[in-house]
Each structure stands twice: as structure tokens, then as C-alpha cells.
Amino acid sequence: MTQLRLQVNGITLIGARNADGYLQCTEIRVILDTGETTSIRGLGSIFGGSVLMNWVDEDHNVWQDVRPVEDLRVHSTL
């Protein structure tokens, strides 16, 4: 595997080429005051001990963050 692509809600997320590994996951977020939940989908490219995550939510917002690979290893393909 040399690249991964995720299509969600009309948005296409593309992982970095030739990463050490890839993952995709879903995260549920809860607003504590109201109990309202939202679901986000993510695609990650693993480089060493870090995962460069690309996220998309139900409103088509897209953003990135970096997380330790150990936090997401269960979702990864190395």
C-alpha cells in the first residue's frame, strides 16, 4: 500500500504517499452541556511515532491534527 483515500459526504481525503502506514477512524464528540453528539471521520498517514490526521465532519468542515501513533494503533495498517 502506497496511499489511502477516504470519501465522506462528498469530500475526498487523501493520505500522504509512501507513509510508514495508514489508518482511518471515526470519532464521536459529545457536548457536555447539551449531550449533543457529532461524528467525524478521519484518515491518517503514519510517519515514525506520529499520525498526520485529516478530518471531515457532517458539515463538510475539514481540518488536520497530529496525534501519537500509539493512541491510534488499533485503527492502523502498518
pLDDT in tens, 59-78: 999 999 999 999 887 776 66
pTM of the model: 0.84
Residue 2: all three cell numbers together: 502506497
Per-position b or e across 48-77, b if 16+ CB within 10 A of its CB: eeebbbbbbbeeeeeeeeeeebeebeeebe
For residue 55, what pLDDT band results from cuts at 50, 70 and 90?
A: very high
pLDDT digits (tens, 9 = 90+) for 1-48: 778 899 988 999 999 999 999 999 888 999 999 999 999 999 999 999
pLDDT at 78: 62
